[in-house]
Chain A
């Protein structure tokens, strides 16, 4: 793991190194498993309960997802001659919301990093490393999409004309409780998880909030459950994980300064969350099954078995953010 930094702080060399490692993961055959695993986590394929969203495990599931992705990213960096020390950067979308003139489209969308918006006629991204059919990366979508190219459509959805604001994020960080009954998308404004995931909004606006709003604002490939098809997914969820870490560091310290697990959903009053969201539940696909990825460093015969309780303390996992106090 290592220190995860704001993408705004990356040098040109660091951006190139990250971008090249992602492209190498795609070529090597790792990347698309993250799209498939997200589909599985959401209960779409194979059909089942949504174990990754609309419940307390939203944050833990995506933390494990990023940990696994980052390990493969570092292996890719080594394949390319690096020392494997790179980490996933985060995209603080509230910073871009504060921008003017450029209409919330910051440097992250330049051709030297995540690439631009899609064209208006069909949402197709035409330039940058993640365009399809161009030499820079030839990014092809393979997992359950109607088209094989990356689509984006910034801010055109009637559900999300703008990115979340800093005030929205700070309001979420002030919530005292990690989650609340009924442990789903209708949990109240007392639920940090539900407000941050974006199903409840303190300002009462009936549009998606925080995490959900960013998916909808980017649009295109970020809209359906195959959303990791867009590499911006990782930077977005790195920011979501950072926000959870910030909340934990503010709300759930022991008197000695270390973190408690602070995962309240253990099937207490109000009934247990659905399968996959309880403290001791195994998070699919990290259930010890055979590892389907190509053989390589860091890949063993089987995926690890990871439970919700295993990933609650980011510092214990070796992760830190440049915004940690």
Chain B
């Protein structure tokens, strides 16, 4: 399964792609992500914003999670 890794503010972001589906992990924890309209992504952890990319979504979660 193709894997894309990013490092952001000390956290490891991993995106695994299989066919049309993608899985997101932040520091090893799976993050629920839904593909929504307009090729955007949505997560219940930041549920009132849509993101244009999974990396942007993951960075926002890292930015906003409790210190």
Interface residues of A (CB under 8 A from B): 39, 42, 44, 53-54, 121-123, 146-147, 151, 157, 159, 182, 184-186, 198-199, 208, 211-213, 215-216, 219, 223-225, 227
B43-64 vs A, CB cutoff 8 Å, 1 = contact: the mask equals 0111111100000000000001
Chain A interface SS verdict (over half): loop
The list of the 6 closest CB pairs from A to B, nearest first, reads A186-B37, A212-B48, A215-B48, A225-B44, A44-B44, A225-B47
Which of A122, A159, A212, A225 lies in contact with B67, CB distance below 8 A? Answer: A122
Q: How far is the CA of A159 from the CA of B51 in the complex (A)?
A: 11
Q: How far is the CA of A225 from the CA of B47 in the complex (A)?
A: 6
The interface residues of chain A lying within 8 Å CB-to-CB of B66 are 122-123, 146-147, 151
Q: How far is the CA of A121 from the CA of B66 in the complex (A)?
A: 9
Q: How far is the CA of A159 from the CA of B64 in the complex (A)?
A: 12
A223 touches B64 (CB 8 A): yes
A224 touches B37 (CB 8 A): no
B55 to chain A, nearest CB (A): 15
Q: How far is the CA of A157 from the CA of B63 in the complex (A)?
A: 9
Q: How far is the CA of A151 from the CA of B65 in the complex (A)?
A: 11
B36 touches A185 (CB 8 A): yes
B6 at the binding interface (Cβ < 8 Å) = no
Which of B38, B40, B49 lies in contact with A159, CB distance below 8 A? Answer: B49
A121 touches B67 (CB 8 A): yes
A216 touches B37 (CB 8 A): no
A60 to chain B, nearest CB (A): 19
A305 to chain B, nearest CB (A): 26
Q: How far is the CA of A50 from the CA of B50 in the complex (A)?
A: 14
Which of B36, B38, B48, B50 lies in contact with A223, CB distance below 8 A? Answer: B48
User: Which of B38, B49, B50 has the largest number of chain A CB atoms within 10 A?
Assistant: B49
A14 to chain B, nearest CB (A): 29
A224 to chain B, nearest CB (A): 5
B5 at the binding interface (Cβ < 8 Å) = no
The interface residues of chain B lying within 8 Å CB-to-CB of A186 are 36-38
The interface residues of chain A lying within 8 Å CB-to-CB of B42 are 54, 185
The interface residues of chain A lying within 8 Å CB-to-CB of B46 are 223-224
B32 at the binding interface (Cβ < 8 Å) = yes
Q: How far is the CA of A157 from the CA of B66 in the complex (A)?
A: 14
A224 touches B67 (CB 8 A): no
With A44-B32, A184-B37 as known contacts, state yes or no: A223 contacts B47, CB within 8 Å: yes
Which of A42, A184, A213 lies in contact with B47, CB distance below 8 A? Answer: A42
Q: How far is the CA of A44 from the CA of B45 in the complex (A)?
A: 10
A185 touches B32 (CB 8 A): no
Q: How far is the CA of A184 from the CA of B45 in the complex (A)?
A: 19
Q: How far is the CA of A184 from the CA of B67 in the complex (A)?
A: 34
User: Which of B37, B47, B64 has the largest number of chain A CB atoms within 10 A?
Assistant: B47
Can you list 7 contacts pairing A with B, beta carbon distance less than 8 Å? A44-B32, A122-B66, A146-B66, A159-B49, A186-B36, A211-B48, A224-B44
With A121-B67, A122-B66 as known contacts, state yes or no: A185 contacts B37, CB within 8 Å: yes
User: Which of A159, A211, A223 has the largest number of chain B CB atoms within 10 A?
Assistant: A223
B63 to chain A, nearest CB (A): 8
A134 to chain B, nearest CB (A): 19
B47 touches A198 (CB 8 A): no
Q: How far is the CA of A182 from the CA of B37 in the complex (A)?
A: 9
Q: Using A122-B66, A147-B66 as known contacts, list a sample of 6 further A-B pairs with CB atoms less than 8 Å apart, ordered by residue number in A.
A: A186-B37, A186-B38, A199-B50, A215-B48, A219-B64, A225-B45
B47 touches A53 (CB 8 A): yes
The interface residues of chain A lying within 8 Å CB-to-CB of B65 are 146
